Structure formats: C-alpha cells, structure tokens
Amino acid sequence: MCYGAGRYNYKEVLHKSILFYEAQRSGVLPRNNRIPWRGDSAVHDSSPDGRDLSGGWYDAGDFVKFNFPMAFSTTTLLWGLIKFKDGYVASGELANMYDSIRWPLDYFIKCWDEQNKVYWAQVGDGNKDHDYWGRPEQMTMARPAFSVTRSSGGTEVSAETAAAMAAGSIAFKTKDPSYSARLLEKAKSLYDFAYHYRGTYTDSVPAKDFYASNDGYTDELCWGAAWLYKATGHHSYLQKAHDFSHSDSDEFSWDGKIRGCQVLLHEIAKEKHDTTNEHRYKRYIEGFVDNWLPGGSVHQTQCGLGWLMQWGPLCYAANTALIALIAAEDGIKTTTYRTWATKQINFMLGDNKHHRSYVVGFGHNPPVRPHHSSSSCPNMPAPCGWDQFDSHAPNPHVLYGALVGGPDKHEGYVDKRSDYIHNEVACDYNAGFQSALAGLVHLQARSHLPSVTPPHGCSGL
C-alpha cells in the first residue's frame, strides 16, 4: 500500500469546521468569540418555571435548539476527539476543540432537571422559527421550551444526551476531572430515566416534522449504555448494550445509532478478549460498511461518492467514513476501509465532477450561498429579512467550515440559498465529517494515510 501526504489540507478544514460550530452558538458568547458577526442571542431561553436554558447550538440555518440531533452531533464529535486526539494535536486545534465541545455539554447539564426527572429537549417552535429570516440577535418570536417527563417518556433524546455526557466524561477525564465527574453522574441518572420511562420523544416534543425518530429508541438505549460502560466499566451497562444491539441499518446518523453501538461493542469485546462477541460485531460492521463500497447496494456517483438519499448525502457518507476509519483502527479491513473513507472526504473537498469544494470557505469554488440565515445578513444596522433570502449575491459573511447537504445522485448541484435540500448546513452534517478529518490527520501523523487517486475526470487538484 502506498502512503501519501494527503490530497487536501485536512488540518485547515478541521480548523474551519470548529469555527462553524462557534458560529452556531446560542446564548451569551464568550470573551474569546472568534465570529465577529455573531453576538449574544436568545439569552432568556428558559422553561415555564424559570429554569435557565440559554446556550447550546442552533440546529442548522435556523434558530431552534433541537436536542436530539444536537446530542448526536456532540457524541459523534467527542468520539472523534477520544479516538483521534492526536489528529487534533497535530492540527493545533486541541484547545479549540475542548472549548467548542464544552458549549453543548454545558447546555445539556442545564436541560436535565435531575431532581424532578424532567429533561428539557427543545427550545423554539420549528414552524414559527422558519417563518423568520434574519439575525438570531434580533429575534422577537416566542421561544417555548418542551420537555419529556416520567409520564410522557422521551427515550431517544434522553439516551442520546446521556451518551453525549458519558463520552464527554471520558474526553475531559484528565483535562478537567471535576467536570468529567459531573458529566458522568448526569449521564448515569439521565440514562436511568431514559431506560425506565420509555416513550417516543416526539409524542411530547413538537419535532416530528423535523427530526422524527424513524428508527425507534432501542438504538439510543444501546448507544447510551455502550458509552456508559466505556466511562464506568460497570457490567450492567454492557449487558444492556448487548440486549439492544442486534439490528441492522443502512446509516449512522442523528436517527440511527446502532452501527456506532456495534463498533463500540466490537472494540469492547476485543479489549476483553471476548472472541464470540468480537466476531459477531465484526460481521455487523462489515455488513454495513461493505454495503457502502462499490458493489454494495448504496448508489455510487460518477466520482465515487456513496450516495444514500436526497437530504444530506454528504453527511451520510461522512458518517460512514468515520465508522470505516474507526473500524480500520480496530483491525477490520484496515487498508480497504481507510482508502474508501479517504476517497469520500476527498470527494467533499474537490474530487468530484465539478472539481469544487462542498465546504464553505475552503478550497476551489466553495459554496457562497449556504441556506443559513445569520450569515446571509449584512452587518448591522443594515436590515435583514426575506430580501436577503431571495438575493442572488453571496452571503455577506463566510460561514467557514460548514459542509452543505451536497449533490443529487448524478452529482448535480446548484449553489442557491433557497435550495435547502442541497445547500442547507447543520450541526449533524459536520459532526461525522469533522471526526473523520481528525482521523485522516491522525493517519497522516503516523504516515498511514493511504495515497488515493480519484476516478478519471474527478480530480479537484
């Protein structure tokens, strides 16, 4: 196998992806805010009984705080930090990453009312929010908060947030031991709540039109338990993870976590010399990733992108690339999976039919009109509204690092703000992508990055 220096500057993209998450911050911004066109916003977000719910990340190009995809994004980013920490070190981004990922974790701590067993799972009304185009700093619409309780249940969002906090406790164990311990205690009690008071979260939180749980909640129960086992070593969590682990899915995403859980369980089995479960979960992982490779059932575009669906195809490919890179680290088809994952990320950075980057502010001919409200607004005091939405001009502010949804199955793509299917950005779009980038920098640092050649006519360099 030949090894190379990398076709693109992965460290630069990693740096810019962290900036994207900083642009998504809600609440009172820190003194070291690096996004000059962003200011304090939604600082009075709260529950009806006055619980402070400020902070967290805005979901996408809008200003709702949907905890379900936010928690998935947080867990997935933490997975990359834990697994490929040396990639962040080599990029000079470790301190920025710790600062970045603490923002949603602090918010989740606020959202979990442990004493009353109430988890605040969303702030903002999706429909009313989408009637507004402008700056978050100037929002005037009501921002109601919605919770899941013992009577209503809300297993998906609760177990996913428990996973995020458990992963956070691992990531911060040496960085900030007291913060790590606090996250772990919150994770344990929130997972216990998710496990014992089961129910579909959209029965009580109005997110069905945006983030309906199509995969049910057993995958989150698996995922949360696996992370809690990694954080505690308590066998009861491992048994719960095994109980919920035996299902299939074509995706690893905000909705479907089972493939992530199976990767963790394979890793745990390998560490414990449990050959039966090691082989069992290896078969699950290979069945999933192989399906994305040429010859599998997932559609391959002209330039080699694994294309699963119309909405966010780059996100799904990046998430699968992350799974492939972690599986490769654990000894599963190492060369094949690293090569395929590298090609997927390279496609997003320029190795495609249009020889363009799909990352705002990076590479050749990147998107300049992402479907993102705040970056489409000129500097204050100039007004911002639907005229800016309809404008053909580039967004006045560069939303550095944001991965857009991506092309259609024939690699057709138009950089058009109103085309939210192909041009929206979102926290979950960048999560697997950023962690995969950390994985590629990790391979570079160890001289294990595969040297790949794009198909004929697909080179972006």
Active site residues: 62, 371, 415, 424
Q: In whole angstroms, how far apart are CA 250 and each of 39, 73, 301, 339?
A: 39, 18, 17, 20
Output the DSSP codes for 24-50: TB-BSPPTT---TT---B-TT-B-TT-
Say which residue the tokens 């013992």 belong to: 150
Side chain identity, residue 386? W
Output the DSSP codes for 349-386: HT-STT---SBTTSSSS--SS-B-TGGGSPSTTS--SH
Sequence-separated (6 or more) residues with CB below 8 Å from residue 139: 41, 42, 63, 132
Cα–Cα–Cα angle for 323, 352, 421, nearest 5°? Answer: 75
Sequence-separated (6 or more) residues with CB below 8 Å from residue 309: 316
Read off φ and ψ for residue 2, nearest 5 degrees.
-85, 145
Alpha carbon distance 310, 307 (integer Å) = 8
SS3 content of the chain, % helix, strand, coil (to 5): 50, 5, 45
* Contact between 113 and 154 (Cβ < 8 Å): no
Structure tokens at 229: 């086992």
Structure tokens at 214: 């199509």
Count other C-beta atoms under 10 Å from residue 148's C-beta: 29
